Structure 1
Amino acid sequence: MDGEPLGMSTSALDAHLSSCPVCKQWVEQATNLTRTARLDATPVPDLADQIVADVVLPARRVHRRRTLLRVALFVTGLVQLGIGLPALVGDSIGMAMSMHGAHEMAAWDLATAAAFVAAAWLPRRAAGLVPLLATFLAILSVLSVRDIVTGAVGPDRLATHLAALAGLVLLVFLDRTERAIQPSPAQAVHTHVDDGPTDLRTVA
């Protein structure tokens, strides 16, 4: 049936099959099964549309989430800008400090606002901002607890840090969303190193 060596002559095989009904029946069944397997034209369902839908729909959801995060981060940057601008003229919002201290606080708030806006404009920059802002807020949280206990700061001043906290959360989620999106050809660079070319995704 499959062209394999029989191990005996054809005439000897035919003689055995003519005298052995069991072997003859087995050969007939095997021959029919082989013919059916080779000639079976059972239609195969086309799953292309379903496969494409399973890929495209999640991608659309990721891009939609990315857009919402960018808008939210941009708005947070504007809020942070509004917090920092009064300090330029010495208004530290709920906390007394020297003019230079107010200016330092204004510089930080305005830089944070600019970083939020920049990350909203170019989401791939979000990853680089997370460690710095997370460290700042972690240290600030510890110090704020002490300041609250000693009465050195009031709720109105603490409320000004909520924009930075919201920005950090948005940066983390934006970075995760950005990583879930396949890089476009414009985002990939081909970098040659000593041991050969390496394809890298741009992060700056």
Structure 2
Amino acid sequence: MDCSTVREAVSATLDDEDPGVPAERIDEHLAGCAACREWRESAIAVTRLARLSTAGTPPSVGEHVFAGIGRPKRVRRRDRLRAGLVFAAVAQLSVVVSQLLAPHLAQQSSAGHLGHETAAFNFAVAMAMLFVAWRPNRAGTQLPVLLSFTAILAVLSIVDLLSGAVGWYRLSSHVPLLLGVLCTVLLGLTQRGTPAPGTVAGEPSGETVVETDAPAPPTADKHRPPAARAA
């Protein structure tokens, strides 16, 4: 029996496996081969160390994995649009304050009341922007008012600008409104494919739930005694 066969048999024996050869033949070879005896002693020592040594602490890869996973691109874009809406709303509120504190509006009662009406509507527009920033999934509910107001204001501003009734400085106060409307429109686009408010996830948006008058299936009353259920 050659040395390689004996060493494979010894290794299998140390691993509590079938050596494949009789133990007597292994002992006979080891008795006459000093190299194999030395190899067996080394194998026994290595096996003992491997069984007695404790497993080391595995490397923590969780932090590296989570660090590499950023927020979805769609969520990051939505957060930026919400921040833009808050900025536009604050700027719109500053326009409201400037309208209420304008000294020339207090000279005439009619002009003053008209300015107050304009300030009130601009305040409502700012609140609509803040509402969309708070509830992005409701962006579509505010678009009819915001878009209609912006469209009419844009047409009238162009007419007044061409007639010389208004200057660029006054028109610059409408920039927060345009920014807020743009952010609202983009937020509405980012919400495509998500369930509409009040619908169940996975249910197509706008689907009508048909209610029927069919009675509900009877449910078994487990608390009634067997005799009452049999009756």
Pair 1:91–1:64, CA change in 2 (3 A): farther
Is 2:182 the partner of 1:169?
yes
Q: Is the 8 A contact 2:84 2:179 kept in 1?
A: no
Q: Which residue of structure 2 lines up, in the alignment, with residue 119 of structure 1? A: 132
Q: Which amino acid aligns with 2:138?
A: R
In structure 2, C-alpha distance between the alignment counterparts of 1:92 and 1:135, rounded to whole Å? 29
In structure 2, C-alpha distance between the alignment counterparts of 1:106 and 1:121, rounded to whole Å? 23
Secondary structure in 2 aligned to 1:98?
helix
Q: Which residue of structure 1 lines up, in the alignment, with residue 151 of structure 2? A: 138
Pair 1:192–1:167, CA change in 2 (3 A): same
Consecutive aligned runs of 4 or more in structure 1 exceeding 6 Å deviation: none
Following TM superposition, by how much is the alpha carbon of 1:131 offset from its aligned partner in structure 2, in angstroms?
2.1
Deviation digits for residues 67-116 of structure 1 (CA, Å, limit 9, x no counterpart): 111111111111111111122234589xx981111101110111111110
Unaligned 5+ segments in structure 2 are: 1-68, 214-231
Structure with greater strand share of residues: 1
In structure 2, C-alpha distance between the alignment counterparts of 1:99 and 1:121, rounded to whole Å? 33
RMSD: 3.1
Q: Which amino acid aligns with 2:83?
A: V
In structure 1, C-alpha distance between the alignment counterparts of 2:71 and 2:147, rounded to whole Å? 29
State TM-score, norm by structure 2: 0.51
> Bigger relative contact order, structure 1 or 2, given CA contacts below 8 A and separation 6+?
1
Which 10-residue stretch deviates more, 73-82 or 138-147? 138-147
State TM-score, norm by structure 1: 0.58
Secondary structure in 1 aligned to 2:165?
coil
Q: Which residue of structure 2 lines up, in the alignment, with residue 66 of structure 1? A: 78
Pair 1:142–1:75, CA change in 2 (3 A): same
In structure 2, C-alpha distance between the alignment counterparts of 1:92 and 1:163, rounded to whole Å? 23
Q: Which residue of structure 2 lines up, in the alignment, with residue 50 of structure 1? A: none
Q: Which amino acid aligns with 2:88?
A: T
Secondary structure in 1 aligned to 2:192?
helix
Is 2:128 the partner of 1:128?
no
In structure 2, C-alpha distance between the alignment counterparts of 1:130 and 1:158, rounded to whole Å? 22
Q: Which residue of structure 2 lines up, in the alignment, with residue 103 of structure 1? A: 116
In structure 1, C-alpha distance between the alignment counterparts of 2:119 and 2:149, rounded to whole Å? 15
Q: Is the 8 A contact 1:91 1:102 kept in 2?
A: no
Pair 1:59–1:187, CA change in 2 (3 A): farther
Q: Which residue of structure 2 lines up, in the alignment, with residue 9 of structure 1? A: none
Tell me which structure has the larger Cα radius of gyration: 2
In the TM superposition, 1:140-155 aligns within 5 A as 140-155=153-168
Secondary structure in 2 aligned to 1:161?
helix
Percentage of identical aligned residues: 36
Following TM superposition, by how much is the alpha carbon of 1:194 offset from its aligned partner in structure 2, in angstroms?
2.6
